Amino acid sequence: MTKSIIKNFNTLKGQVIVPADKSISHRAIIFSSLAKGKSIIKNFSDGQDPRSTLNLFKELGVDIDLRNDSTVIINSNGILLPPTEELDCGNSGTTMRLTSGVLARQEFESVLVGDQSLSKRPMKRIIEPLTLMGADISATENYTAPLTIKGQKLHGIEYYNKNASAQVKSCILLAGLDAEGKTTITEPYLSRNHTEIMLQHMGANIKVNGCCVEIEKSELSPIDIEICGDISSAAYFIAAALTIPNSDIILKNVGLNPTRTGILDILNKMGADIKILDKKQICSEEVGTLEIKYSHLNGCEISGEIIPRLIDEIPIIAVIATQANGTTLIKDAQDLRAKESDRITTVVTELKKLGADIKETPDGMIINGGKQLIGNCEVETYHDHRLAMSLYVAGLICQKEISINHFEWVNISFPTFEELFESIKV
């Protein structure tokens, strides 16, 4: 599907209720499937990626009932059944990596497959620690899917992951839930911690000490959980409001977990007018309402330990940086090259088409801002939902119309994306 974007409105005003957090939705399905009893998940994400996780655990014999498209009832005895066919993870790296930690300790063989994009993404980062725990996993010679996993008894390990990654950490912790002895994982920086929060909430034998997490064999208790809004989805509305003159919007139900709010820290550093109107806790996760107003921004350096806290938001931060005065330097973000697309190359390539002054570096990009984006061209999404949404926002600030090819990839994480944007255009 090709989507044409043109600024045929004056500004952005109004309120948006941010859709459910994708990361938490994945984990709610996986952990509830491993618990014994009935779990109720409210405000489950309508993105295709979390639905891949839901459908996969149905294939593993879990009684999962999706009601009204957002409430999930799970009745589980904590036992998974051998699948009768390959387990399809779709486009979801979270599904494949986290589920590998679960399947490595089962008493059966399974095969994880994905779409063309997922089948190119690196899986050595989970294969290596799981193999050290005693897992039997085979992949292609490039350590990509399909993954064939022959369930084994596992033992605990002490593992240092040189690149902070919530997916790797969660995979190891899920394997450690049924491994003999203690399993410890340490990271150089703290990656998003939804897994630790939910496991603690469900009674796991888990200890967190800064960037080090330790888990021992545990039985999980079922939960009732209401999932907060996804700050990664909110980021596109934040970006548009900050860069379109006279905009003033309210975003409700935004997850404000400190391991996810790096984008707010960076935008505040750039001079953004963002206010948190209220803050509360829902199911041990911080949630709040944001007010965002058009702002005159300045470039800055983005590097080091903040990168894991905004890794998914870097494409849209690059769009914002094109409108900020001065230079924005993004460093230490080499993991972007292993996402749905090589997000360093693809972001630079497509924003250049729009007229941005942007340069690729081995671990990030340099953006010289303060220049009007022109447009009047076609851009590509590379089967990458975050790039598609970032280009949509860029199109709203271009002088001339742009066409985004394969815009349907936004449905991976945010099916109501365009509808919600239309609701605040005035």
> Active-site residue numbers?
312
Q: Which tokens sit at 167?
A: 């997916």
Which H/E stretch holds residue 330? strand 327-330
- CA-based nearest residue to 191, from 306, 314, 20, 288: 306
Token pair in block for residue 39: 């779990």
User: Phi/psi at 19 (nearest 5 deg)?
Assistant: -60, 165
Radius of gyration in angstroms for the set of CA atoms belonging to the chain, rounded to a whole number: 21
Rounded Cα–Cα distance for residues 370 and 367 (Å): 10
Please give the Cα distance from 170 to 349 (Å, whole number): 33
Could you please report the per-residue DSSP string of 121-168? Answer: S--HHHHHHHHHTT-EEE--TTS-S-EEEE----B--EEE-SS--HHH
DSSP classification of residue 386: H
Half-sphere exposure at residue 166, Cβ-oriented, CA atoms within 13 angstroms: 23
- 248-255 and 285-293 strand pairing: antiparallel
Residue type, 139: A
**Rounded distance between C-alpha atoms, residue 160 and residue 162, angstroms:** 6
d(CA 16, CA 246) in angstroms, rounded, equals 17
β-bridge pairing 212-215 and 357-361: unpaired
